[in-house]
Amino acid sequence: METLCAEGWLCSSRARAGRGFPVAQFNEMFQGAEVRIPYSRLQDWVATMPQELRSLKQAEAEALFRRIGITFAVYGEGGDPDRLIPFDMFPRVFSGGEWAKLERGIKQRARALNAFLVDVYGRGEIIRAGRIPARLVYQNEAYEKAVAGFVPPKGVYSHIVGVDIVRTGPDEFYVLEDNCRTPSGVSYMLESREIMMRMFPDLFRENRIEPVDTYADKLRRTLASVAPARCPGEPTVVILTPGHFNSAYYEHSLLADLMGVELVEGQDLFVDGDHVWMRTTEGPQRVDVIYRRIDDAFLDPLCFRPDSMLGIPGLMDVYRSGGVSICSAPGAGVADDKAVYTYVPDMVRFYLGEEPILQNVPTWQCGRAEDLAHVLANLADLVVKEVHGSGGYGMLVGPKASRDEIDRFRAKLSEDPANYIAQPTLALSTVPTFVEEGVAPRHVDLRPYCLVGERIDLVPGGLTRVALTEGSLVVNSSQGGGVKDTWVLAE
């Protein structure tokens, strides 16, 4: 299950500097002593805020989060299932110009990823053209043979693309990874904004901040636009959740509420004839579009995991005969695999005939001999991770690792090189953040949520995650990461 987890591979510039690679890290608020324009009004705001008010507001924010029930459970960690994700009140700001470029890049990427998915489940032109190795696609665990040859409505596989982005300079953005299945965290984008507007209305009067609360409407329109062709009239959309024990349940229920659609579990749905139905107090009601927040493997016990208690037996048959749409489409995961990630810029060129606007982090495929040699020689400066790993497990952060850890990892890597990729450490940008002693820079990343249906849409904003520990680049919420409100200023 995808949870709100970043790959914890980011590494501090301080560590790099220690090794003789002094890199100026980019502070998004300050350029030298100058305040960068998007942040100009925040300077006064923070300077004139008395300490007592700050503590008061922080407590208020926490109370609000807890009251609306937006808590976060981390799998396997035990402890308080109603843990709060830390919220930092200092916003992260983009100018309209900065955002315009990001938006073009994100949409471009989302289009290319969907074109790739339609292609690899169809004729496989990109493979025939020799632009990506067949093995990477067809041998991929995330490749669903069950949907080969099937084109979902409007040719969309991934309806919500979460593109994780880091920044290293005024004009330098890198994509860390793509999330084509069911990226989570959008509830934090929505609730952070609600809470900021409630606590600091003056800030919103002084700054012209683009709204994000149109997200739910846009999501509903996106989902409705991919209803099966034979669906008569207004389609019935539902959100399929694994249930209230899931760590993202709050988000599932918030989205259902904002869209005005039913939040269903597998037990609420059944297949009869050519359609999927939900059990209601008035009898069965036909379902046309399922926004699922469960993994492919659990969708249909007849097609995937037979032990799945979450799924709906027979769902895939109805899906393949065009009786119901599933968002994201089964099989979309093959596009956000870490090894496939390397080829996304090629996809942009191949399918769209454009140059990629957003860059990938340079990546070495350890499966290639020349790349492996480079990686082995530079382990201490690189981040190495498993191709299929997630949540920061089974990886090496070179600059932070001891000699011993590096040696042990070297042995693991040499055993199965194709299972690993490597990337350089980046000097991640920072944003001022409220800390114990006052305000200090902390590293951030960004996850915007791009909607792909009949048209492609992106609300101006996203989820900014912040590494609250000094020097840390791990924005993972399970490891002390927090969230910030993300502003895009109107031009």
Partner 1 sequence: MLSRTADNLYWIARYMERADTVARLLEVGSRISLLPSAHGYRSEWDSLLQATGLTHAFAQKYGQTVQRNIESFLFFDRDNPSSVASCITAARENGRIVRTALTTQVWDALNTAFQELKQLEREERSKLELSRLTDWTMRHAAMLRGAIDATLLRDDGFNFLNIGYYLERGDNTARLMDVKYYVLLPRVDFVGSGLDNYQWTTLLRAMGAHRAFHWAYGGEVTAAKIADFLIRNPQSPRSLATCTAGLTNHLGRLAKAYGRETEAQEKARGLAAGIESATVEAIFDEGLHEFLTRYIAEAAVLANAIHDSYLSGEMR
Contact positions toward partner 1, by CB under 8 A?
66-69, 244, 249-250, 253-254, 256-257, 262-265, 267-268, 278-284
CB of 70 to partner 1, least distance (A): 11
CB of 238 to partner 1, least distance (A): 9
Q: How far is CA 30 from the centre of its chain?
A: 27
CB of 252 to partner 1, least distance (A): 9
Nearer to partner 1, 292 or 442 (CB): 292
Packed helices 403-415 and 369-377: angle between N→C axes, nearest 10 degrees = 170
Nearer to partner 1, 60 or 268 (CB): 268
How far is it, in rounded angstroms, from Cα 130 to Cα 104? 27
3-class SS at 273?
coil
How far is it, in rounded angstroms, from Cα 157 to Cα 148? 12
Nearer to partner 1, 279 or 455 (CB): 279
CB of 47 to partner 1, least distance (A): 35
Are the CB atoms for 395 and 384 separated by under 8 Å?
yes
CB of 244 to partner 1, least distance (A): 5
Nearer to partner 1, 48 or 281 (CB): 281
- The gap between the terminal CA atoms of the chain, to the nearest Å, is 39
CB of 62 to partner 1, least distance (A): 12
Nearer to partner 1, 66 or 374 (CB): 66
CB of 276 to partner 1, least distance (A): 14
Judge if the upstream peptide bond of residue 328 is cis by omega within 30 degrees of 0: yes
Nearer to partner 1, 318 or 444 (CB): 318
Nearer to partner 1, 123 or 279 (CB): 279
3-class SS at 434?
strand
The closest alpha carbon to 5, from 72, 78, 65, belongs to: 72
CB of 277 to partner 1, least distance (A): 9
How far is it, in rounded angstroms, from Cα 222 to Cα 463? 20
Token representation of residue 430? 């920072």
State the pairing for strand pair 269-272/275-280: antiparallel
Q: Which residue has the tokens 């008061």?
A: 56
Nearer to partner 1, 280 or 359 (CB): 280
How far is it, in rounded angstroms, from Cα 11 to Cα 154? 40
CA distances from 369 to 365, 375, 416, 425 (A): 9, 10, 12, 21
